Amino acid sequence: MASVVGVEWWWMLAAAALSWWLFDAAVRFAWRPRALSRHLRAQGLRGPARSSLFHGNLGDVKRLRAAGGGVTLDVGDHDFTPIAQPQFREWIPLYGRVFVYWFGATPDVCVADLGVAKQVLADRTGQFPKHRINANLMRLLGEGLVMANGHDWQRHKRVVHPAFNIDKLKMMTATMAACALAMVSGWEARLAAEQGKGKRQVVEIELSAQFEELTADVISHTAFGSRYREGKQVFEALKELQFITFSTLFDVQIPMSRHLPTRKNRRVWRLDREVRATLMRIIDTRLAAKDKEGYGNDLLGLMLEACAPEHGDTPVLSMDEIVDECKTFFFAGQETTSHLLTWAMFLLSTHPDWQERLRDEVVRECGGRRAPTHDMLNKLKMASLS
């Protein structure tokens, strides 16, 4: 009799759990979005209707991106919006420069109006926090400046900002120039090798990969006091994490799914462990040498100084936050700068007249010296405008 009662009790618990799950799903995917839609429309915010109960407008976004993937731009056409963000090209004329669309059951507000965008970016009330839904994005960037909010953001900025004052940037010029000259020397060596074999007088170089390595080398030297090969594992792991993250940006994040041991999750966990282990080796090396050389004046040194245990006060940054900040600068600093350099070289290749103007200015201001100084770079007015 007791066993029968026990089975009935478990069936009741299972039925209650299923009822609660169904109720929560109905609230999350039906009632709450409908109520939010009414409130947003009452405030004048329109947008495309949800095409799916669970995916919102993500199906429309994927369809438009698939259509844009076949678009080929002419050399002089820089309108990449139909390829990168075709949904905004289609929806802005229909719903205005501020509209709402649905990321699953979560409303996202697109702000393409400059005045409203300034108001949002200048807001200090905490009403516009960073988007933290994608778990892979959090593993990629961590709790650094890019993803921090409110007082945490201010605390991180207070530690990181001094690393980028003008005096420290002047000191970094020689290091940056040395990294760039090493890259160019490699190009010259390849050309000389081809000429020595009696082959072509021209060598084809895939610049985007070269610039990725250059920016990684500069970051390793100036921010973390190490060489590129010591941080290479970090860059390679973060690059794969980036690929996984961007491939899931338009996927609905199912609650608790990031904890399931799927093949993709296991790969993400392993990459995250690799990044942290490599960063901790760099940090431990710096800590071991602090008695002789101090913490250093680069970004890593400033962060370690902020959490130094000998201060006696509560550390401004924890060790986990330092690791996350390192991840932020390893990733964000490399990607943005390498893409900027690649784009600049593309534009110069399609505008040879500007190549000549900039080359003349560099020769005039820098003379025959191989490594430009900070003062020389300041005189490159045409280069800074371009």
Token pair, residue 20, equals: 């609660």
Residue 50 CB-density burial (10 A; 0-12 exposed, 13-18 middle, 19+ buried) = buried
HSE at residue 298, side-chain half, CA atoms within 13 A, is: 17
Confidence at residue 3, expressed as pLDDT on a 0 to 100 scale: 54
Answer whether residue 249 shows pLDDT above 80. Answer: no
| E runs forming strands in 24-123 | 98-103, 106-111
| 222: pLDDT strictly greater than 80 | yes
The pLDDT tens digits of the residues spanning 314-336 come to: 778 888 888 888 888 887 788 88
Beta bridge partners of 101: 108
- The predicted structure's pLDDT at residue 100: 94
Evaluated on CA atoms 45, 50, 53, 56, the torsion sign reads: negative
Which DSSP letter does residue 103 get? E
Phi/psi region, residue 56 (left: phi>0; alpha: psi -120 to 50; beta: rest), is left
Mean per-residue pLDDT over the chain, rounded: 84
Residue 259 scores a pLDDT above 80: no
Domains annotated on the chain, with CATH: 2-128 (no CATH), 160-350 (1.10.630.10)
293-309: pLDDT as tens digits = 788 878 888 888 877 76
pLDDT, residue 353, reads 94
Average pLDDT over every residue of 333-358: 91
CA atoms of 377 and 173, how far apart (whole Å): 9
Percent of the chain with pLDDT over 70: 92
Would the pLDDT of 257 be above 80? no
User: Tens of pLDDT along 128-164?
Assistant: 887 776 777 788 888 888 888 888 888 888 888 887 7
Q: What is the pLDDT of residues 156-194, one digit of tens each?
A: 888 888 877 888 888 888 888 989 999 999 998 988 888
Higher-pLDDT residue of 370 and 363 is 363
pLDDT over 70 at 369, yes or no: no
Predicted confidence (pLDDT) at residue 211 exceeds the cutoff of 90? yes
Q: What does the pLDDT read at residue 151?
A: 85
Torsion sign, CA atoms 340, 346, 349, 351 = negative
pLDDT per residue over 89-107, tens digit each?
999 999 999 999 998 888 8
Residue 309: per-residue pLDDT: 60
348-351 contacts: CB < 8 A, separation 24 or more? 350/75, 350/76
pTM: 0.79
Query: Which has more confidence, 39 or 137?
Result: 39
Q: Which two tokens stand for residue 317?
A: 């940054």
pLDDT at 368: 65
Residue 312, pLDDT > 60, answer: no
Higher per-residue confidence, 76 vs 347: 347
- Percentage of the chain with pLDDT > 90? 19
Strands, E assignment, 65-207 = 98-103, 106-111
